[in-house]
Amino acid sequence: MSPQITPIVDTEQDLELSERILQPDGTRIANPQLDRFVSDLSAEDLRALHRDMVVLRRIDAEGVALQRQGQLGLWAPCRGQEATQIGTARALEPQDFVFPSYRETGVIYARGAAPGDFVRMWRGEEGAGHDPNALRVAPLQIIIGAQTLHAVGYALGISHDGTDEVAVTYFGDGATSQGDVNEAMIFASSYRVPVVFVCQNNHWAISEPVAVQSQYPIAGRAPGFGIPSLRVDGNDVLACLAAMRWALEHARSGKGPTYIEAVTYRMGPHTTADDPTRYRNDDELEEWRRRDPIARLEAHLRALGELSDEHVAETEAAADAMAREMRAECLGMVTRPPLAVFDGVYAEPHSGLERQRSEYAAYLASFDGEV
């Protein structure tokens, strides 16, 4: 199911090279490769995907607002990428383990994150915003591409244990230029481990357009490593769900790694420390607004007669409730004493750690005489 390798000339051609099930206007089209993977979805399932994306967008907006109000140190927006994150994450089984980058808010939401989990790390309270074992999601990774190596290492462990788990790792188009990602693919292919690589091609690696990094579809690189790949319209939640189901089926059947490139767009800044108006124009944004993933699914549901105004209102109310809980959790967090940073580093006392604790205590005391 690997894509044809054709140079990318413009956005329209870029998207035409991607598999899809829903057109931007919500029209359902036949897709021989993907249809069987979503043939079981009911209208209720579609409404649940719609609800997930609406709630995620509200979580994201609240995260940006909290950062702008000085409550968070940073936030990495995912507006515009809801279909990619929700579609792929909802295909996972409970036993699967995810290794995300810093932008996968929708993935941890789909895996059961509590309201406070979205902000704890960005507020600087803990090294991970959530319990990795409970969600089966590793801590958000800030180092670009490093999580792909972690995922492959975990997948090798799955192979040794003989379980039916799959490791899944998410990264952006910019990360594909990192050595870590390519080394992870070499290792995954060599050992045929059950891992799924998900590249969210959102067109911008900070301020560098994807065309600078790749003149060809990024998914076209994977077959060179011996990894089958699939390129999908990342704003089509059904295509993303189907692609992940294909990848998981491949991995669980012992056939090794797979690669998904989801072609989407980052509507907001790279992080709240970024100003995207310095490197992209309004025409580009407007072009992608017409491909909004939520509006696409809404149009499809309304065409089916399966989306009522009551459902929309209830969904928006649920999204607002999640945002209120998230804000309340954020504002109610109590920062631990500075010296608590040394707690839990080692299972047993360590002389070197005690020395560092003492030195840090003296440093803190030099400011106000209090520790």
From the list 270, 291, 300, 327, the catalytic residue is 270
Residue 182's nearest CA partner among 230, 146, 138 is 146
* Distance separating the N- and C-terminal Cα atoms of the chain: 60
CB 148 within 8 A of CB 180: yes
Instruction: Report long-range pairs for 9-18 (Cβ below 8 Å, ≥24 apart).
Output: 11/287, 14/217, 14/263, 15/233, 15/263, 15/291, 17/217, 17/231, 18/231, 18/232, 18/233, 18/234, 18/239, 18/261, 18/263
Task: Name the DSSP letter for residue 270.
Answer: S
CB 291 within 8 A of CB 263: no
Sign of CA dihedral 104, 109, 115, 120: negative
From the list 90, 266, 300, 327, the catalytic residue is 266
d(CA 144, CA 247): 23
CB 303 within 8 A of CB 274: no
Side-chain half-sphere exposure of 169, counting CA atoms within 13 A: 29
Told to judge if 266 belongs to the known catalytic residues of this protein, a careful annotator would answer yes
Who contacts 240 (Cβ-Cβ below 8 Å, separation ≥6)? 83, 84, 86, 87, 88, 232, 234, 260, 262
Rounded to whole angstroms, what are the CA distances from 41 to 123, 259, 291, 370? 38, 24, 22, 60
From the list 28, 36, 279, 289, the catalytic residue is 279
Residue 244's nearest CA partner among 133, 80, 60, 96 is 96
Told to judge if 270 belongs to the known catalytic residues of this protein, a careful annotator would answer yes
Phi then psi for residue 42, to 5 deg, are -95, 175
Q: Provide the 10 A C-beta neighbour count for residue 334.
A: 5
Task: Name the DSSP letter for residue 158.
Answer: H
**Which residue stretches of 173-232 are H helix?**
179-191, 210-213
d(CA 139, CA 202): 22
**Residues marked as catalytic:** 266, 270, 279
